[in-house]
């Protein structure tokens, strides 16, 4: 089948509940983490998350070989941080491929507020830049372990605060190698 570019109406999907097989939306996503305590603290401090479901930590779990997992609630989505079961994490600072990445939805005011928070915390980010078509604005940053994250708004965004349009002729694209950093929890 030949495909061509298309773009549906702005924000329409947020009011849709019509998947023919009953799919509503994303419940959680699972990120492999070498240090889940560090990741949980990062999600608490940087994304305002809170522990929602924690498993694998008691001796019984340990005896069963259950991997340690922390589900952090961020908005209405759960970010699951789990220890690798095959010995190594493949997502990380050695990988500058833009995918996988995970995007959090917010208002324009929320995006400005959170970028100011990243500035305060000394966490590097790329953006905010406008997606081609002008329907959304995003900024990108990494977790301390190199998971790639995005903050996105479909609101209008103050033009003077936008670094340009994504793409080779505009603001460019995130250079992930420049966005990795070391981080320690605040206390």
Kindly list the residues in this chain that would bind Fe ion in the complex (CB under 5 A).
103, 150
Name the helix (H) or strand (E) containing 55: strand 50-55
Between the two ends of the chain, the Cα-to-Cα distance in Å is 55
Q: Which is nearer to Fe ion, 30 or 103 (by Cβ)?
A: 103
* Minimum distance of Fe ion from residue 126's CB (angstroms): 12
Paired sense of beta strands 69-74 and 50-55, if any? antiparallel
Sheet bearing 50-55, strands edge to edge: 28-32, 77-82, 69-74, 50-55
* Minimum distance of Fe ion from residue 156's CB (angstroms): 19
* Minimum distance of Fe ion from residue 102's CB (angstroms): 8
3-state DSSP: the chain helix, strand, coil percent, rounded to 5?
20, 25, 50
Q: Which is nearer to Fe ion, 82 or 139 (by Cβ)?
A: 139
Q: How much is the CA Rg of the chain, to the nearest whole Å?
A: 18
* Minimum distance of Fe ion from residue 163's CB (angstroms): 16
Q: Which is nearer to Fe ion, 56 or 170 (by Cβ)?
A: 170
* Minimum distance of Fe ion from residue 103's CB (angstroms): 5
| Residues listed for the chain | 187
Q: Which is nearer to Fe ion, 80 or 138 (by Cβ)?
A: 138
CB 142 within 8 A of CB 179: yes
Q: Which is nearer to Fe ion, 11 or 58 (by Cβ)?
A: 11
């Amino acid at each position: 089948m030949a495909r061509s570019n298309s773009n549906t109406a702005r924000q329409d999907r947020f009011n849709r509940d019509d998947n023919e097989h009953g799919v509503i939306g994303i419940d959680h996503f699972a990120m492999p983490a070498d240090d889940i305590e560090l990741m949980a603290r990062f999600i608490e401090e940087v994304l305002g998350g809170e522990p929602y479901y924690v498993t694998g930590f008691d001796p019984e779990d340990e005896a069963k070989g259950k991997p340690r997992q922390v589900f952090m609630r961020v908005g209405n989505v759960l970010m699951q941080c789990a220890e690798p079961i095959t010995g190594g994490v493949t997502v990380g600072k050695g990988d500058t491929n833009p995918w996988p990445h995970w995007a959090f939805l917010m208002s324009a005011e929320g995006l400005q507020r959170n970028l100011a928070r990243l500035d305060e915390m000394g966490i590097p980010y790329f953006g905010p830049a406008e997606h081609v078509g002008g329907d959304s604005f995003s900024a990108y940053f990494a977790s301390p372990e190199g998971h790639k994250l995005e903050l996105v708004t479909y609101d209008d965004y103050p033009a003077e605060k936008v670094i340009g349009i994504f793409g080779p002729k505009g603001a460019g694209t995130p250079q992930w190698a420049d966005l990795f950093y070391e981080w320690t929890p605040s206390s």
